[in-house]
Amino acid sequence: MLWVDKYRPKTLDQAMVHQDIAQNLKKLVAEQDCPHLLFYGPSGSGKKTLIIALIRQIFGPSADKVKVENRTWKVDAGSRTIDIELTTLSSTNHIELNPSDAGFQDRYIVQEIIKEMAKNRPIDTKGKKGYKILVLNEVDKLSREAQHSLRRTMEKYSAYCRLILCCNSSSKVTEAIRSRCLNVRINAPTDEQIVKALEFIGKKEGLQLPSEFSARIAEKSNRSLRRAILSLETCRVQQYPFTSNQIIPSMDWEEYVSEIASDIMKEQSPKRLYLVRQKLYELLVNCIPPEIILKRLLFELLKKLDAELKHEVCHWAAYYEHRMRLGQKAIFHLEAFVAKFMSIYKAFLIAAFG
Amino acid sequence: MAPLVQSSQPWVEKYRPKQVKDVAQQDEVVRVLTNTLETSNCPHMLFYGPPGTGKTTTALAIAHQLFGPELYKSRVLELNASDDRGINVVRTKIKDFAAVAVGSGQRQGGYPCPPFKIIILDEADSMTEDAQNALRRTMETYSKVTRFFFICNYISRIIEPLASRCAKFRFKPLSEEIMITRVLHICQEEGLNLEPEVLSTLSSISQGDLRRAITYLQSATRLFGSSITSKDLISVSGVIPEEVIETFFAACRSGNFDLANKEVNNVIAEGYPVSQMFSQLFEIVVGANDISDEQKARICKKLGEADKRLVDGGDEYLQLLDVASSAMRAICNMQEDFS
């Protein structure tokens, strides 16, 4: 078992970071009623952990028995019926799913599943929880229509089912949904908190963990606890006992992007652009999301640039990223950004050195 | 339906005024409607105004007061944006309902029960133009037996022929005192204790929207119990603390790109919604005394552009960084546009 899963806090009391939020959630559940919730925050900050712990707190240990199901829903959409396949994780009391996986048909999924949950309401009256919980991940990727229909279903079936929504940026969730939920902001853990968590794991595993080393891991993790723990485990496999100046391997795609960045800095020519394109393709076929590539590339380039060029480069990064959203093929826009950068940099070099 | 736990009812519903005279601040409307109650006659109505000012409440209250609980079901049709309101519904459901004749006006159980029915169209500005056009004739044909109440936020989205058939009432945003009195009333009923300073925070973050104020209050109570501080309210409302914005803006002023970049990273890692960030930044920029109008205009132009990109699904980090860099360029009088 990976350490990330092994040391994931099981209950709200065990939470290592966000203790205050966990205590508040506990209070919320203790009052026998739970509003719709919207968790938002950057990835690796512990949204999912809190949600699972919360469900456990509400329903007790039965929430641990989850089964993975791959189901097909038959949805009646006006004149025709559509089949939609979706993977769900469910226990007796909750269902968890990723509605945005259904693409543009996500609206039907939202309505259909909630309706179904409302239909098979738990019968036992002695259990005081008269509702089930539906966890929807990545709500920010839902289409507008789906969000609108969610708003209606949220009110209509609120007696039988509570929604827990989870997303990275709440800007992309409509105001109507946000105002119907209790919003919970989960911030990324600070470096100190990450260090503490790493030390905790180190102690449990019986490792000698030099403090400079854990501080370096925390710094490198970019405030993502998950990543910090994963890299700790990787380092453990690579070399133990730890030394404080041990190399922390970064992810291979990041190495690759920084390679691209130095390629671009070395030479600005169509030939080099051709080379870079192949590398970009390589990243794309390995399923690295294009916006992540662009962001990382910008990060690497900014490290090497003069201050006066930074403004211009970040302007164009924002510009091409927007275009990428509107367009279809990511590679065009990535390449356009690289070409743009090359022309700016070349002009700068010529102006500076003649 | 499962029996609802009492406490799970939203306070917004629980404390919705049941009578027209209880509606806060909208004196003009209240006067006309009290008159209606006495004479049992009224025109078609069009209520417009910002959210949370009591439009729906007024419409429901008058309907309840006119017909009482028994007749209410058969005399009032309530449709809002979540119901299907395409042109078909207007042609069938609304028309059928409007066409039904009703008995002559006899007082029943203390209610006036005037000889007409009421159709309440909530959020009418989200109806399509076709659907609104289809209503025109229906309104006139059945005006003897049916009154329409339109409720909307933007009167400009209601087509002119419909608007001219109605008596229009504008609902004003609630003033701070009135909002505080209402909130205090709820606090008393719920046994809460609020400091005056907390009350003013509440009214400033909700910006004249009473519903929002009550929702925030309830969320905060659920999370933090009966003693609430301003900080708690700000954290449930999703408003970004003033200091964060100030630091961000100060970084832009400094002219140091790396500092701004660090600040942007920080905002993203803390999970603050960037769209909210933009609107609060906008307020600070407009209110700032030491930057010229032209500089303000440049920043605002960029904010508008970035907001549009965000709506299109752009990445939060890149857009915020772009705004920070533009603001810095504007303030430090650097090169304006890139081509």
Q: Across chain B, where does the E strand assignment appear?
A: 45-48, 76-79, 117-121, 146-152, 167-170
Flag whether residue B314 sits within 8 Å of chain A, measured between CB atoms. yes
Residue A154: closest CA among chain B residues belongs to which residue?
B82
Tokens, residue A43? 């990835």
Q: Are residues A281 and A321 in the same domain?
A: yes
Whether residue A83 is contained in a domain is answered as yes
Tokens, residue B132? 């609104």
Q: Which of A23, A315, A325 to mutate to test the interface with B (most CBs of B within 10 A)?
A: A315
Point out the residue among B236, B257, B316 whose CB comes nearest to the CB of A171: B316
Q: Which of A322, A328, A341 to mutate to test the interface with B (most CBs of B within 10 A)?
A: A322
Q: How far is CA B76 from CA B98, B149, B211, in A?
A: 10, 11, 24
Three-state DSSP string of chain A: CCHHHHCCCCCHHHCCCCHHHHHHHHHHHHCCCCCCEEEECCCCCCHHHHHHHHHHHHHHHHHHCCEEEEEEEEEEECCEEEEEEEEEEECCCEEEECHHHHHHHHHHHHHHHHHHHHHCCCCCCCCCCCCEEEEEECHHHCCHHHHHHHHHHHHHCCCCEEEEEEECCHHHCCHHHHCCCEEEECCCCCHHHHHHHHHHHHHHHCCCCCHHHHHHHHHHCCCCHHHHHHHHHHHHHHCCCCCCCCCCCCCHHHHHHHHHHHHHHHCCCHHHHHHHHHHHHHHHHCCCCHHHHHHHHHHHHHHHCCHHHHHHHHHHHHHHHHHHHHCCCHHHHHHHHHHHHHHHHHHHHHHHHC
Q: Are residues A137 and A282 in the same domain?
A: no
Yes or no, beta carbons of B212 and A179 under 8 Å apart: yes
Give me the pLDDT at residue A339, please: 93
Query: At which of A165, A185, A205 does a domain end?
Result: A185
Query: What's the average model confidence in pLDDT over A125-138?
Result: 73
Point out the residue among B223, B312, B329 whose CB comes nearest to the CB of A322: B312
Q: Are residues A116 and A54 in the same domain?
A: yes
Tracing tokens 């081509």 back to the chain, one arrives at B339
Q: How far is CA B48 from CA A95, B13, B117, B170, B318, in A?
A: 41, 20, 21, 5, 38
In this structure, of A204-213, A308-317, B281-290, the range with the lowest mean pLDDT score is A204-213
Tokens, residue A20? 């205050």
Q: How far is CA B321 from CA A89, A308, A353, B305, B332, in A?
A: 37, 15, 29, 13, 16
Q: What is the CATH number of the domain that holds A318?
A: 1.20.272.10
SS3 B339: coil
Tell which wins on pLDDT, B142 or A336: A336
Whether residue A202 is contained in a domain is answered as yes
In this structure, of A112-116, A311-315, B46-50, the range with the lowest mean pLDDT score is A112-116
Q: Are residues A13 and A38 in the same domain?
A: yes
Whether residue A41 is contained in a domain is answered as yes
Give me the pLDDT at residue A73, please: 77
Q: Are residues A161 and A205 in the same domain?
A: no
Query: What's the average model confidence in pLDDT over A8-13?
Result: 84
Greatest mean pLDDT among A25-39, A51-65, A252-266, B16-30: A252-266
Give me the pLDDT at residue B105, please: 58
Q: What is the ipTM of this complex?
A: 0.86
Residue B211: closest CA among chain A residues belongs to which residue?
A179
The B167-170 sheet, strands edge to edge? B76-79, B117-121, B146-152, B45-48, B167-170
Tokens, residue A133? 């919980």
Q: Are residues A55 and A135 in the same domain?
A: yes
Yes or no, beta carbons of B223 and A182 under 8 Å apart: yes
Whether residue A29 is contained in a domain is answered as yes
Q: Are residues A16 and A50 in the same domain?
A: yes
Q: Are residues A53 and A163 in the same domain?
A: yes
Q: Are residues A155 and A57 in the same domain?
A: yes
Tell which wins on pLDDT, A124 or A282: A282
Tokens, residue B73? 């079901």
Residue B81 CB contacts under 8 Å (≥ 6 apart), including other chains: B122, B123, B126
Yes or no, beta carbons of B270 and A188 under 8 Å apart: yes
Q: Which of B216, B221, B270 to mutate to test the interface with A (most CBs of A within 10 A)?
A: B270
Yes or no, beta carbons of A317 and B318 under 8 Å apart: yes
Q: What angle do CA A100, B10, B64 make, to 5 degrees?
A: 115
Whether residue A170 is contained in a domain is answered as yes
Q: What is the CATH number of the domain that holds A157?
A: 3.40.50.300
What residue ranges of chain B have pLDDT lower than 50?
1-6
Q: How far is CA A90 from CA A58, A136, A241, A308, B299, in A?
A: 15, 12, 41, 53, 48
Give me the pLDDT at residue B5, please: 46
Whether residue A244 is contained in a domain is answered as no
Tell which wins on pLDDT, A152 or B64: B64
Whether residue A46 is contained in a domain is answered as yes
pLDDT of A335 > 60? The answer is yes
pLDDT of A123 > 60? The answer is no
Greatest mean pLDDT among A222-231, A338-347, B71-80: A338-347
Tracing tokens 């919207």 back to the chain, one arrives at A38
Portion of chain A with pLDDT greater than 70, in percent? 95
pLDDT of A128 > 50? The answer is yes
Q: Are residues A227 and A294 in the same domain?
A: no
Give me the pLDDT at residue A271, please: 92
Residue B272 distance to chain A (closest CA, Å): 8
Tokens, residue A2? 């990976």
Q: Are residues A181 and A195 in the same domain?
A: no
Q: What angle do CA B71, B73, B75 make, to 5 degrees?
A: 65
Tell which wins on pLDDT, B71 or A273: A273
Q: Are residues A145 and A230 in the same domain?
A: no
Yes or no, beta carbons of B314 and A318 under 8 Å apart: yes
Domain enclosing residue A277, as ranges: 252-353
Give me the pLDDT at residue B193, please: 80
Residue B4 distance to chain A (closest CA, Å): 7
Flag whether residue B306 sits within 8 Å of chain A, measured between CB atoms. yes
Q: How many domains does chain A have?
A: 3
Give me the pLDDT at residue A285, please: 92
Give me the pLDDT at residue B3, please: 43
Beta A80-90 vs A94-97: how paired, if at all? antiparallel
CA A112/CA A118 separation, integer angstroms: 10
Query: At which of A185, A205, A229 does a domain end?
Result: A185
Quote the mean pLDDT of chain A: 83
Query: At which of A238, A266, A299 does a domain end?
Result: A238
Tokens, residue B59? 């419409």
Give me the pLDDT at residue A336, please: 93
Whether residue A221 is contained in a domain is answered as yes
